[in-house]
């Protein structure tokens, strides 16, 4: 028996069932926990494929950052359990038809290229005498990726860092309201005072308490 | 060992389609919407990594790395917006989300 095949089948079936539970669970906490299970199953599938660095990066970033973020938000907000109602969708054909078309497109591309083999290292079609499993074993996954990222695609790497910085700044500004009641100087407004608009008339509405 | 590569693609496709279905079904709850979005991105990542192993091209492993980065940033911003919305409204029902304008 091929252990990889058994483990792979278990992982894919578990991941599909967990993904289904994510979208149909009534309680959002259940959804987040099964989302974590989906991420872990896909990490296992990536380990089977031989990309260990990417598998562990998935674990660290997806489970350790994104799913934990979801868990924090779900625990912090007072969310009532939702009811799944499909009665809103009278035009169910608008859902089914794109799904069928998508499935047909993907299968028509992939079925033409099924590569069946019984040798363990024959998963790769050898185009230009390259062999990624051998390269992965020899150079290591991380070094291989580094030889691409830091040389040819360095601009994308730097841009990814800038995008993360902006996301951090945006999230902090959106959720912090500690400084709204503090009186402080607005230096630009003070310096850019003009004699034309230095004195103006305002309306003060009386607030009823 | 594995018989064919198509099982990997079927797994990736099922994840992507379940994510799409989740977005369609869960219009009412924003958190499940964001989780379905993460499912879609995960499906695309798996498909790209499988293609990388299948076609001997390392760009298929580099691109999911960047997609992962962008997905994390977008989750952070989306959840921050959700929290702000909840603070203002007191509930995260999307029926009144059009009141955010103005």
Asked if residue A36 is part of any domain, the answer here is yes
The model's pLDDT over B2-56, given as tens digits with 9 standing for 90+, comes to 457 888 989 999 999 999 999 888 888 889 999 999 999 999 999 999 999 888 8
Mean pLDDT of the A58-77 span: 93
pTM for the model stands at 0.73
B4 contacts in chain A (CB < 8 Å): 114-116
**Same domain assignment for residues A137 and A75:** no
Domain spans, chain B = 6-100
Domains of chain A: total: 2
| Nearest CB to A175 within list B34, B49, B83 | B83
Q: Does some domain include residue A180?
A: no
Angle between helix B6-25 and A93-111 (nearest 10): 170
Contact A28 B32 (CB under 8 A): yes
What's domain B6-100's architecture? Orthogonal Bundle (1.10)
| A11 and A76 co-located in one domain | yes
Q: Kindly state whether residue A16 falls inside one of the protein's structural domains.
A: yes
Instruction: Please state, in angstroms and rounded to a whole number, the distance separating the CA atoms of residues A151 and B54.
Output: 24
Q: How many Å apart are CA A116 and CA A129, to the nearest integer?
A: 19
Contact criterion met (CB below 8 Å) for B41 and B67: yes
Q: Determine the pLDDT at residue B1.
A: 35
Residue A204 inside a domain? The answer is no
- 8 Å CB contact of B49 and A49: yes
- The reply to whether A68 falls in a domain is yes
Query: How many CB atoms neighbour CB B66 within 10 A?
Result: 16
CATH code (residue A10): 1.20.120.1200
The mean pLDDT of A110-122, rounded to a whole number, is 45
Q: Is B39 on the interface with A (CB under 8 A)?
A: yes
Phi, psi of B93 (to 5 degrees): -75, 130
Expressed as residue numbers, the domain containing A46 is: 1-81
pLDDT digits (tens, 9 = 90+) for A90-106: 566 767 777 787 777 66
Q: Tokens in use for B31?
A: 């958190």
């Amino acid at each position: 028996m091929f252990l990889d095949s058994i483990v792979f089948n278990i992982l894919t079936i578990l991941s599909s069932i967990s993904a289904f539970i994510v979208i149909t669970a009534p309680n959002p906490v259940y959804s987040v926990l099964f989302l974590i299970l989906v991420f872990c199953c896909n990490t296992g599938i990536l380990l089977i494929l031989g990309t260990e660095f990417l598998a562990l990066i998935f674990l660290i970033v997806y489970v350790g950052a994104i799913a934990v973020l979801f868990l924090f938000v779900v625990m912090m907000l007072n969310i009532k359990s939702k009811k799944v109602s499909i009665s809103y969708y009278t035009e169910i054909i608008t859902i089914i038809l794109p799904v069928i078309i998508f499935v047909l497109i993907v299968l028509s591309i992939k079925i033409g290229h099924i590569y069946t083999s019984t040798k363990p290292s024959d998963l790769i079609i050898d185009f230009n005498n390259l062999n990624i499993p051998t390269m992965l074993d020899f150079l290591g996954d991380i070094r291989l990726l580094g030889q691409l990222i830091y040389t040819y695609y360095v601009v994308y790497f730097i841009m990814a860092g800038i995008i993360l910085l902006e996301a951090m700044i945006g999230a902090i500004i959106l959720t912090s309201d500690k400084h709204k009641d503090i009186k402080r100087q607005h230096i630009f407004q003070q310096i850019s005072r003009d004699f034309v608009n230095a004195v103006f008339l305002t309306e003060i509405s009386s607030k009823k308490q | 060992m594995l018989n064919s590569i198509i099982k990997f693609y079927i797994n990736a496709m099922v994840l992507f389609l379940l994510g799409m279905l989740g977005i369609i079904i869960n219009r009412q709850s924003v958190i499940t919407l964001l989780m379905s979005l993460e499912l879609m991105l995960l499906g695309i990542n798996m498909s790209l990594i499988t293609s990388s192993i299948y076609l001997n091209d390392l760009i298929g492993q580099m691109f999911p790395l960047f997609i992962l980065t962008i997905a994390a940033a977008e989750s952070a911003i989306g959840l921050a917006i959700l929290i702000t919305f909840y603070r203002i409204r007191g509930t995260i029902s999307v029926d009144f989300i059009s009141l955010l304008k103005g």
